[in-house]
Amino acid sequence: MTAGAASWLPLSPGERSVAIEVLVHGPLSRTELARRLDLSAGSLTRLTKPLLESGLLVEVPEGGTPAEARQGRPSQPLDVVAESRSFIGFKITEDMVYGVVTTLRSDIVARHDRPLATHDPDEVVEVLGEMAEELARAHPRLAGIGIGVGGLVEDRAVVAESPFLQWRDMPLAALVEERTGLPVVVENDVAAFVEAETWFGAGRGLDRFVVLTIGAGIGYGLVLGGKRVPCAEEDRGFGRHWILDPGGPLTPDGERGSAVSLLTIPNIRYQVQAATGRDRTYEEILALAAAGEPMPARVIGEAGRALGTLVAQIANFAMPQKILLAGEGVGLMDVSGKVVEDTIRAHRHPLAAPVELETKVSDFHDWARGAAVLAIQVLVLGAAEA
């Protein structure tokens, strides 16, 4: 980490609250900041002084650019300089590593991907190291690295279990830190994605928020009180035992009629292949279903009803202000969106408020951005639990 980034640490809980509020919602006047955090003017001055001295916060004119000549005037809003530091985010899939560089406010400014030919830990770490070197050449003010992995991650450092990488108790953070010389944070990829959407995306400013992802698997994240709820079972098979249709399909992964059996891309492809004898891509299946081809249309229709049932159940029990549907499988909504909406209504009380369902067409760079947000939270703000 650079000397400037190190000088931001450690932050007291009060300083961290101020920094987060400005980072996520700034620029903010001192009056508005004090109101949001329920602080007196004197307390706010005491908390902001070290943040201004370290350069994490700056005073800006109403136009939003740093006020170099007029620092110290209390009427000026406080903000962060988003470009003052850069962060790398990596998303590791079964056969690729997706990399991004973001600003302090998580805006993606560069992308760099590499195929992954092996899951050997040493070779994966070497790929990550080479990618970090490539990105650092164009972005020299790197403050740290975040890595998102499908699997169970402990202490934001060790991949305790990742079935698709066939890793157990792999100290990924320490290995990548040693290879790159930068501080590293590792987290479950869904958890990282939820954090990014909570701070900078669809869930910003919401008290109760849910992220549901469909793709190779199913991911779920719950935000209460503006904070993600950690779960010990994270990425240990959400949806495999959530039965949406007891008479539904039996697939290689997931119980009969489970959310995983009905909604994941591999199982949708399996159902179509089992019925037709032809192996088709997910995009081909969606196109055939939209054209009225009987078997793809039936499978996609069942998936739409399953998704509507799942969203309605989440809404009934978690009562979120918004549900964000994301992942590489969201193309389902383009073909079966009306079925999803009708099923949601059928599984909700007639007087219930409509479910605010936002669909985000996301790719793996969005997941990599989520990992970078974890790095911002932990490395810059020292957030032990974001």
Indicate which CATH number applies to the domain containing 14.
1.10.10.10
Q: Which domain holds residue 177?
A: 84-195+366-380
Residues of the chain with pLDDT under 50: 1-7, 67-73, 384-386
> Do the Cβ atoms of 353 and 249 come closer than 8 Å?
no
In a domain, residue 386? The reply is: no
Whether residue 119 sits in one domain with residue 95: yes
In a domain, residue 45? The reply is: yes
pLDDT digits (tens, 9 = 90+) for 42-65: 999 999 998 888 888 899 886 555
Long-range contacts of 162-170 (CB under 8 A, 24+ apart): 164/93, 164/94, 165/92, 165/94, 165/119, 165/124, 166/119, 167/119, 167/121, 170/121
Whether residue 242 sits in one domain with residue 307: yes
> Do the Cβ atoms of 371 and 336 come closer than 8 Å?
no
CA distance 89 to 369: 5
Of 80, 114, 149, which residue sits at a domain end?
Answer: 80
In a domain, residue 385? The reply is: no
In a domain, residue 200? The reply is: no
CA distance 81 to 366: 22
What is the helix (H) or strand (E) element at residue 15, kind and residue range? helix 13-25
Indicate which CATH number applies to the domain containing 126.
3.30.420.40
Whether residue 350 sits in one domain with residue 217: yes
> Do the Cβ atoms of 59 and 52 come closer than 8 Å?
yes
Whether residue 213 sits in one domain with residue 191: no
In a domain, residue 306? The reply is: yes
> Do the Cβ atoms of 286 and 187 come closer than 8 Å?
no
Of 47, 80, 113, which residue sits at a domain end?
Answer: 80
pLDDT at position 26 is 85
> Do the Cβ atoms of 178 and 217 come closer than 8 Å?
no
In a domain, residue 182? The reply is: yes
CA distance 151 to 217: 11
CA distance 355 to 137: 46
Whether residue 132 sits in one domain with residue 102: yes
Whether residue 143 sits in one domain with residue 67: no
Whether residue 211 sits in one domain with residue 349: yes
Whether residue 182 sits in one domain with residue 280: no
Whether residue 169 sits in one domain with residue 303: no
Q: Which residues contact 336 (CB under 8 A, 6 or more apart)?
A: 289, 300, 301, 303, 304, 307
**Which residues, listed in sequence order, are joined to residue 298 by a DSSP beta bridge?**
none
pLDDT at position 274 is 95
In a domain, residue 76? The reply is: yes
Whether residue 73 sits in one domain with residue 88: no
Angle at 314 between CA 304 and CA 156, to 5 degrees: 105
CA distance 253 to 276: 20
Strand 322-326 to strand 86-92: parallel, antiparallel, or no bridges (unpaired)? Answer: unpaired
pLDDT at position 383 is 58
Distances (CA, A) of 385 to 16, 179, 230: 12, 26, 9
Of 37, 52, 80, which residue sits at a domain end?
Answer: 80
- Tokens describing residue 142: 């790197």
Whether residue 354 sits in one domain with residue 371: no
Q: Which residues contact 327 (CB under 8 A, 6 or more apart)?
A: 213, 214, 215, 219, 362
Structural domain count, the chain? 3
List the one residue out of 30, 112, 117 whose CA is nearest residue 77.
Answer: 30
In a domain, residue 298? The reply is: yes
Give me the residue label for tokens 């470009």.
Answer: 83
Whether residue 211 sits in one domain with residue 249: yes
